[in-house]
Amino acid sequence: MEKILEVKNVSKRYQNKQGEVLALQNINLRINKGEFVSIIGPSGCGKSTLLSIIAGLEEKTTGEIYIEGEKVEGISPKVGYMLQRDCLLEWKNILSNTMFGLEIKGNNTKEYKKQVEELLKKYDLYDFKDKYPSELSGGMRQRVALIRTLAVKPKILLLDEAFSALDYQTRIMVTNDIYNILKKEKMTALIVTHDISEAISMSDRVIVLNARPGTVKDIHKIEFEIENRNPINCRESPKFSQYFNTLWKELGVNE
């Protein structure tokens, strides 16, 4: 299998007023092309820190990150990032918002505009292209944020609690929606969530981290024998509750 991301012996030590915090210690993981992997673990175990390091936004204390075999030094153009806040610009319309990543990169050409418009059409947002973010629902805003991210053609998408601001019903629908788009676009995804169900429903593997310092405790392979699996239909499988119980127990020990 073709490997997209490799994290090798990554540790992170923060300095703060109280002294030093060892946030991550000797993290090793690899993610193959097309794989969806979730990271779960108690609050403060270093999940966001790990994603920021992979994106090149945060410096690591030791170790290396490789994306498609290339060492990540500084902000990586191969990484797309989605946060809890969709970070849409309220004064720009939907088309401008989705073009924004390309503008920053200086790729704001006619050809790219056409590609973005195609994405908007494909994912039912074209009719909203002249509207402003405040006119859209939370779920639609996340879809716009996703298209903006996909427009710059990242090799891997990092999601940090991307759905946690949405209410329960919306979250289930939006997770399903985003999952289907990512699969259609053949993306690779690394998902951080505190929600065990979300992790199981979206992933091929779930990585459990220990708290302080964050280390890899266990890696679970998630498999459902469902044709056209998606986050909603796998919740109905008996295997879903088995995985849930296993992960629940494993996290409980940490609390």
Q: Which residues bind ligand ADP (CB under 6 A)?
A: 14, 16, 21, 23, 41, 43-49
Q: Is 61 in the site for Mg ion (CB under 5 A)?
A: no
CA 184 – CA 174 distance, rounded (Å): 15
Q: How far is the CB of 147 from ligand ADP (least distance, A)?
A: 26
* The binder of Mg ion chosen from 48, 164, 246, 254 (CB under 5 A): 48
CA 84 – CA 82 distance, rounded (Å): 7
Closest to ligand ADP by CB, 65 or 140: 65
Alpha helices, H only, 56-187? 94-104, 110-122, 138-151, 168-184
Closest to ligand ADP by CB, 19 or 69: 19
Give the nearest residue (CB) to Mg ion: 48
Closest to Mg ion by CB, 98 or 197: 197
Q: Is 84 in the site for Mg ion (CB under 5 A)?
A: no
CA 14 – CA 76 distance, rounded (Å): 22
The answer to whether 127 touches 120, Cβ cutoff 8 Å, is no
Q: Is 246 in the site for Mg ion (CB under 5 A)?
A: no
Long-range residue pairs from 114-120, CB within 8 A, at least 24 positions apart, any chain: 115/151, 116/147, 116/151, 119/147, 119/150, 119/151, 120/94, 120/95, 120/147
Closest to Mg ion by CB, 32 or 48: 48
CA angle 158, 60, 161 (to 5 degrees): 25
CA 110 – CA 133 distance, rounded (Å): 23
Helix (H) or strand (E) holding 76: none
Positive or negative torsion for Cα 162, 164, 169, 170? negative
Q: From Mg ion, ligand ADP, none, which one binds at residue 46 (CB under 5 to 8 Å depending on kind)? A: ligand ADP
Q: How far is the CB of 203 from ligand ADP (least distance, A)?
A: 17
Closest to ligand ADP by CB, 116 or 208: 208
Closest to ligand ADP by CB, 23 or 146: 23
Q: From Mg ion, ligand ADP, none, which one binds at residue 77 (CB under 5 to 8 Å depending on kind)? A: none
Using the rule CB under 5 A, give the single segment among 41-49, 77-85, 177-185, 201-209 that binds Mg ion. 41-49
Q: From Mg ion, ligand ADP, none, which one binds at residue 14 (CB under 5 to 8 Å depending on kind)? A: ligand ADP
Please give the residue ranges that form the binding site for Mg ion (CB under 5 A).
48
